Amino acid sequence: MANERLFADLALAQRVEGALDVLGVENARSQKKRAPESGAEVIEVGGGHAVFLGAGSPLSQAQNLGLHGPVVGDDLGRMERFFRDRGSRTQIEVASLADPSLLAALSARGYLIAEQTHSLVCSLKTKPLREQPMHHSASTGTVEIIRVGPDELEHWVDVVLRCFFEEPESPPPSLREGAIAMSLVPGTTSWLARVDGQPAGGGLLMIHDGLALICGDGTLPRYRHRGIQTLLLQGRLAHAAASGCELAAICTQPGSGSQRNAERQGFQVVYARTMLIHQ
């Protein structure tokens, strides 16, 4: 059966960005509950939220602004003070379908582009409605995709972070704590890939209001180019479809291998996101 064609519009962007915003807010609440001394905090601003999860953490950012109307008044000033008072630079994710007033205001305040990503969405109406055991045998080893239990979450976080920070480089402690807190957010499940029983990579899934957010994907360097990311993606999509989700969303680097993997599974680019920073 052919994949259902989706059309990029403001309503779809509002749904995806709204779910990402919920994940950020709940992540801050989870970390505040887990480690009150971390200073995790959140404020509502410009129709979205600004979330602080530690100075230097890429999870400390604002998002979902300008998608329900113009950015007015002192929205950006409040956002900047929120981060500045906590010793953090301001980071904001802007969806390309946000009200033009947002980018105009950010440009006037001297924000710089730090990163661009694509937001991709696929319909789950044609995906399998039953989860299948995820095993794949090849000459390079047997790959197994499993859901991680509560007692294994910290180990799972360490595996995923090693996918992005190779020794001797190490992730900021605030990022590790934020990732653990995210894995404890209601509605999330953590997924681990094993090759011949050894950890090889992982990813996260959050289900919110019929939408499945795919995020946090990583594969350890020695296991790359074996189709592990594809198997991780397929496992979560099957779980999301079986859980009643209508749509799945993922963010990738433009033109990357991750984007191509997602497109092979039926995802399509629906809008772009731009990360802007202000020191």
For the chain, the first-to-last Cα distance in angstroms comes to 49
Whether residue 211 contacts residue 243, with contact meaning beta carbons closer than 8 Å, is answered with no
- Position 171 scores a pLDDT of 87
- Position 133 scores a pLDDT of 52
How far apart are the C-alpha atoms of 155 and 138, rounded to whole Å?
Answer: 26
CATH no., domain 123-271: 3.40.630.30
**What would the DSSP string read from start to end of 34-70?**
H-GGG--EEEEETTEEEEESSTT-TT-EEESTTSSS-
Across all residues in the chain, what is the average pLDDT?
93
CA 57 from centre of chain: 14
pLDDT tens, position by position, 239-276: 999 999 999 999 999 999 999 999 999 999 999 999 99
Neighbouring-strand partners of residue 193: 145, 201
* Portion of the chain with pLDDT greater than 70, in percent: 94
Secondary structure class of 99 (helix, strand, coil) = coil
> In this structure, what DSSP letter does residue 218 have?
E
CA distances from 130 to 49, 134, 240 (A): 36, 12, 10
pLDDT tens, position by position, 215-227: 999 999 999 998 9
In the chain, list all ranges with CATH 3.40.630.30: 123-271
Determine the average pLDDT of the residues in 87-110.
97
Q: Which tokens is 9 given?
A: 């519009």
- Position 134 scores a pLDDT of 61
Determine the average pLDDT of the residues in 58-74.
94
